[in-house]
Amino acid sequence: MVLEKLSSSLKETLSKIARAVFVDEKLINELVKDIQRALLQADVNVQLVFNFTNTIKQRITKEDTPPGLTKKEHLINIVYEELIKFLGEEQKDIKITHKPFKIMMVGLFGSGKTTTIGKLAKYFQKRGNKVCAIGLDVHRPAAPQQLKQVCDYIHVDSFIQPEEKDPIKIYNKFKKELEKYDIIFIDTAGRDALSADLIKEINDINNLIKPDERLLVISADIGQAAQKQAQAFHDACNITGVIATKMDGTAKAGGALSACAVTKSPIKFIGVGEKVDDLEQFNPKGFVGRLLGMGDIEALLEKAKEAINEEEAEDMSKKFLKGEFNLLDLYQQMEAMSKMGSLGKLMEMIPGMGQLQLPKDAIQVQEEKLKLWRYAMNSMTKEELEDPDIISAQRIDRIAKGSGVSVKDIRALLKQYSQGKKMMKMFKGKGEKGMERMLKNFKAKIPGM
């Protein structure tokens, strides 16, 4: 997960509190030291760290324990609340208030502007917007082609003119066509460092296009240096938000996030990988919850909503009730699962599961299995998918040859299917009462549900 190290030290700190017999000064001092160490290791600015722990100490000494909470719970809650404040408190959305809505990306060379356009374009496309992108990075060789490639991959229109070196001319050329879209993403050039040239270029583009959002893309691996950059870009073109990328590959992300919060430039999204779905809306509450292992039901629901649209879900539940269920449905479910991201990521978001520490390889094995099954299904005919009972030993051999999946794995898939079908049959005809009873039985078997 993002900030794994910080997360595990904070979790350890909190469980120390939970294990303690008394909340006394010694415990509090120890807690403060632990938190300081954890934050400094995540490259949070020293001054920020001290302010942060001072606030915690003050609150613990001054505040009465609220009714209904134990002193320990109160302490844990204070840490939780202050961490959220530390990271910007409220979730700041990008609201598409009118059309066309223009979103300009700015940032240094290699910070992830182009990649993030792909991610955001997909994000907004999924929410029903007609999106496009225009390439105004005229300095980096092949930058326009890269943008086009990113956009083609997600079936988003892109406007580029590789031979033209004046961004203003490029924009004016496509201006009329762009008006037909709901959202226009504007890709700009970066530099190795913030320079007068870059500022002038951004300002010129800014004055011409008047974007509704000016998003600064910052690579989280620069840690607390993000503060200087955020401030400078803020002064230069009045940015409306920050996207912190490469959160997946750095232990310094804590520094970057807290630094941006200080400049009052709200972090709106974070990039957590190179793939087009590796984008998360930044919600300080959920983020801290996950960091501390409290789970993040909100983020989970958000992802689930994306993966299975309501129509599909309704369709599926009707099939469930009728007892119809074939391999195509199973396939669809798997697709939905993979859209939701890896199982591991998902588990982290389920309250309680984060702490369960599921063996990593168990999750991997499961994911590996799903992948194989998908390959196998790709080698089946439509008839076979619709009516798997016709899949004979001979057919299994053919599918194995075609997909490169072993006969054993294909049999396992068919077994999973017939088990699923059996379940379906049990639901069938039971009506609501029967379902309720079954659910109760099910819950009784799983403690905590």
Residues of this chain that bind ligand GDP (CB under 6 A) = 107, 109-115, 190, 217, 245-246, 248-249, 271-274, 278
> Nearer Cβ to Mg ion, position 114 or 161?
114
Question: Which entry of ligand GDP, Mg ion, none binds 403, CB below 5 to 8 A by partner kind?
Answer: none
From the list 185, 183, 153, 157, the residue with the least C-alpha distance to 171 is: 185
Footprint of Mg ion on this chain (CB under 5 A)? 113-114
Phi-psi region of 444 (alpha: psi -120 to 50; beta: other; left: phi over 0): alpha
Q: Which residue is nearest to ligand GDP (CB)?
A: 271
Residue 365 C-beta: closest distance to ligand GDP, Å: 25
Residue 139 C-beta: closest distance to Mg ion, Å: 10
Residue 224 C-beta: closest distance to Mg ion, Å: 25
Question: Which entry of ligand GDP, Mg ion, none binds 298, CB below 5 to 8 A by partner kind?
Answer: none
> Nearer Cβ to ligand GDP, position 13 or 158?
158
- For residue 281, give Cα distances in angstroms to 99, 272, 276: 22, 11, 14
Q: Is 433 helix (H, G, I), strand (E, B) or coil?
A: helix
Residue 367 C-beta: closest distance to ligand GDP, Å: 19
The string of DSSP codes covering 96-156 is --SSSEEEEEE-STTSSHHHHHHHHHHHHHHTT--EEEEEE--SSTTHHHHHHHHHHHTT-
Amino acid at 16: K
> Nearer Cβ to Mg ion, position 142 or 208?
142
> Nearer Cβ to ligand GDP, position 24 or 152?
152
> Nearer Cβ to Mg ion, position 164 or 335?
164
What is the spatial distance between Cα 122 and Cα 131, in angstroms, rounded to a whole number? 9
Residue 196 C-beta: closest distance to Mg ion, Å: 21
Q: Which residue is nearest to Mg ion (CB)?
A: 114
β-bridge partners, 213: 103
CA dihedral (217, 261, 65, 353) in degrees, to 10, reads 10
Residue 149 C-beta: closest distance to Mg ion, Å: 11
Question: Which entry of Mg ion, ligand GDP, none binds 388, CB below 5 to 8 A by partner kind?
Answer: none
Could you identify the residue written with the tokens 């379906």? 424
> Nearer Cβ to Mg ion, position 113 or 119?
113
Angle at which helix 310-322 crosses helix 407-427, to 10 degrees, equals: 80
